[in-house]
A and B are shown apart, each in its own frame.
Chain A
């Protein structure tokens, strides 16, 4: 006979302490984008001058939205759907929209970690040879020609991708099944210091390579004129926003596992600056190494191709490693770092999905991990371990991030601050449990500045996608995989909101009590003072 324990009576899982919470939040924020996105974005948007909009974006959008996530999750003690429902019943839909985004990201993000795992293995024998582009696209991924008449979707599995992909999924399910303290936290406590050491060795070695200063010159020489361009500022806000794992449920979920009397704002500052610190550190290492590569190839730095994204990691970096003294060791350090950075982020993404279903269906974490991990792994294998996996990954990644996450952020800020008018209550919550106090500037940032900047980003990106398409892919394909995914997120969110909760969750009293909640509304008489 099984006994069903409701979320109301089951003690909530908790981080074992401040360090566990902070390392796990850093592990979530520090991901593949810190290594392969930041340096290229900085280089293309003013070099050293990019630091100005970047730091302004960190302080006016990154940290404020991080605090908003923390406040919602910590005060309303739930995964994104439950915490948002406890603010207002229909906000649950936004929570499920965030869960859907996380599910979609997880299914392709795992594939990238699988690639990194393969390349970690290949590093020891420098298996990619001299032509790293051909090795990655043809020999390894076996990309099908998607030039129009050829297939856009196949079920031709690529064993070299499939095997590590299955391995990553098994590891993920094991970690999620073990729970917050014994699974997620342990992985982060192990991987975060290891990542820092591995990447630290790589950065120090890169800085000692001939030509390293050319790369650093390229990264840091300021182009002040660039600051007049709105696109540069949008790029800075985008970098901070995508890098910090904010506004798609992760930090809401993680904060909900923080003990009630746990400090929020000081750990938040540590997380935000650690994320940016790692990003800068990675930028220095990557660009120093690219400077060396340019020298080896006898070209100017500006003529180098593939200095950002997956091509940087899986084409340019292998070429670089081949030319480095002790290349296999540094290849293994680089791809090992990618695996660790990616895995800790992946676990956080799937914890959002797992926590949401544990609460909605009143199921154990093990059952949730098996069911969600099982379903996601099937989708992941079918979609991304085949010869058409790369194009699907590229398309889904673009829509999930640039349309999905950004829209979730704008809607969350508007709903919570303007519709439910909970800004003051959430600021009161942050200040009641934290050592660093948050001023009225925070409400302005999350209520006005962030939604305006992100809203602008969203509108301009949607317009570009509608007018220009994406990467020359067929319109119908973008409609199905890109826009279709967004539509599927919305439908999923509405359906899950309509589905009943297995156990009552609405009889919930937030702590600390916020008196303004009980104040009489305009026109009403009486009520609590």
Chain B
């Protein structure tokens, strides 16, 4: 492979798969909020 193709391939993988990795890490670190606005509990039947 030529050098510019290698650089672009590595860069693409880093940005796209890196973005996926960071997104998953963020989600695992804080999967849900701990506080929500008033007016709803998860026990309520949802329509």
Contacts and interface: CB of A to CB of B under 8 A. Distances in A.
Interface in B4-41: 4-9, 11-13, 15-17, 19-20, 23-24, 26-27, 30-33, 36-40
B17 to A, nearest CB: 5
A20 B27 CA distance: 14
B42 A213 contact: no
A217 B5 contact: yes
A18 B45 CA distance: 19
Nearest to B1: A213
A511 B39 contact: yes
Given A222-B8, A269-B23, A512-B39, A276 B16 contact: yes
Interface in A497-526: 508, 511-513
Closest 5 CB pairs of A and B: A48-B8, A512-B37, A273-B20, A269-B23, A220-B5
Contact of B20 (A11, A277, A508): A277
Given A9-B47, A270-B24, A432-B37, 8 more contacts: A7-B47, A18-B27, A18-B32, A55-B16, A220-B9, A260-B40, A266-B26, A280-B16
Interface of A: 7-12, 14, 18, 47-49, 51, 55, 77, 213, 216-217, 219-222, 259-263, 266-267, 269-270, 272-274, 276-277, 280, 284, 432-436, 508, 511-513
A205 to B, nearest CB: 18
A241 B34 CA distance: 33
Contact of A273 (B6, B9, B19, B45): B19
B24 A216 contact: no
| Residue with the highest number of chain B CB atoms closer than 10 Å, among A47, A273, A274, A280 | A273
A432 B27 CA distance: 16
Given A55-B15, A261-B32, A435-B26, A512 B40 contact: yes
| Residue with the highest number of chain A CB atoms closer than 10 Å, among B19, B38, B45 | B19
A49 B10 CA distance: 13
Nearest to A512: B37
Contact of A274 (B20, B37, B45): B20
B31 A263 contact: yes
B19 to A, nearest CB: 4
Given A216-B9, A435-B26, A513-B39, A221 B33 contact: no
Contact of A221 (B2, B23, B39, B46): B2
Contact of B33 (A8, A18, A49, A263): A263
A244 to B, nearest CB: 14
A261 B36 contact: yes
A259 B4 CA distance: 46
